[in-house]
Amino acid sequence: MNRMNINYKFCKLNINKIKYQEYVKSFKTKDLQLDNIPQKIVFCKKCVISNQRPRTEFNEEGICNACVYAQWKFFGKIDWKKREQELQDLCNKYRSKDNSFDCIVPGSAGKDSSIVTHQLKYKYGMRPLAVTWAPFIYSAAGYQNYFNFIQSGFDGVIAYPNGILHRKLARIAFELKGDPWEPFAFGQKAFAMQLAAKFRIPLVFYGENGEVEYGGSFKNVNKAFEDPSDWEELYYKGTGLQVLLQEGLKMGIFTEEELKQANFEFYQAPPLKEIQELKLQMHWFSYYKLWVPQEHFYYAAKHTGFEANVERTQGTYTKFVSLDDRLDPFHWITAYMKFGYGRATREACTDIRCGHITREEGVALVHRYDHEFPEDMFPEFLDYLDITEDHFWKVMDHYRRLNVWEFIKGKWRLRRIVSNKDVVFGEISPERIQFPQQGLHPPAFHEQEKLL
């Protein structure tokens, strides 16, 4: 694999330090989903997820809703022949008669968006336009796979948002929601819809319904689509873009001039009137087709030139999942801090549900990789947000929930760890679950809403 030798340069962010210091005195998180997570930690009996994952529910048998859905899709509750016909009918309705684009597929040219785009074009006779919301920092593997995808016969559009404003949004989201990934989530959902409205293309195909495939709300479990009104609750932690912009202004991270000059259009869904006039619809491909990510890897490798990474991704055991963004591991590290699970958990759950590995193997993989800190990308991450290492750990320690973590002998450790036993307390030695450069004193319960 050819390596991109790029000297990334990130300028200092212009932040009003006086306003910032005043703001953090009365800081309150904007991650509203934290209020709805159980205090008692329970792990699924079939996979390795806990009830700390937002919106994940367990049935009376102790099985999470994502595993319940996996049983439905693999063992006969879903009539896939009927859904195949629904997909055929949908494509027949929207298929272009003049060779113009008739649907939009958002994605990174990874394994999942590749199979969706390729099958729409070559199996269903559609004219898809591939739409990409650029990652924070392209990885060599991610850019190579995008290039190979386009060269395999597709049209694509990439949106790069204003670098300074995007970084500021990531900084605000990191501090107010404990997740710097949020600006990517905004564009990932909204940009394709915006482009559909501007090109007058009334059909958008997303990949999977992540809420039902990976655990979350079953609100749309029997639907092929969702409404943009769902986004704030299901993807934005209960708080949308406008709140972050206004809070960013109060924090001194955004200036009034920046907010006046930028419209942030690609971070938001088109106006409801435009959606209704165009009769714009989004559909999940996973509603119509059995969703098995590992099979997508084989398919994309064969048809669109997709290649796995040379080495596994830090924090997990895979080489072909979410390859495109060098900062992606920090989305999972922040989840590890807040909920006690990381990227290895997420990927082991998927592999268990698809029958690729056993729960026992999944537990072993979580124990080995979930806690792994992405040190290779850490300097770039700090530069991108324009923060110090000490600042990073202060924010992270703030978001450690005290039902998940405990502070013993000057170091943090998880209270509960997934196991092949019924109950586990400190099964792994503290050294296995600690990150570097820790040692900050934990806040008391009444101080959880204070930052820095």
Beta-strand pair 405-408/411-414:
antiparallel
- CB-based contact 175:335 (threshold 8 Å): no
- How high is the pLDDT of residue 250? 97
The string of DSSP letters for 312-362 reads PPTTSS-SSSS-SBTTHHHHHHHHHHHHS--HHHHHHHHHHHTTSS-HHHH
Q: Give tens-digit pLDDT for 131-176.
A: 999 999 999 999 999 999 999 999 999 999 999 999 999 999 999 9
CA 374 – CA 359 distance, rounded (Å) = 25
- How high is the pLDDT of residue 436? 43
Q: Give tens-digit pLDDT for 320-349.
A: 998 999 999 999 999 999 999 999 999 999
Kindly state the DSSP code that residue 413 receives in the 8-state scheme: E
In this prediction, the residues of the chain whose per-residue pLDDT falls under 50 are 1, 423-452
- Map out the domains of the chain with their CATH numbers: 79-307 (3.40.50)
- How high is the pLDDT of residue 420? 85
Q: Please give the sequence-ordered ranges of beta strands (E in DSSP) within 259-299, or none if there are none.
A: 281-284
CA 68 – CA 71 distance, rounded (Å) = 5
Which ranges constitute the DSSP H helices of 123-263? 140-151, 163-177, 182-199, 210-214, 231-234, 241-251, 256-261
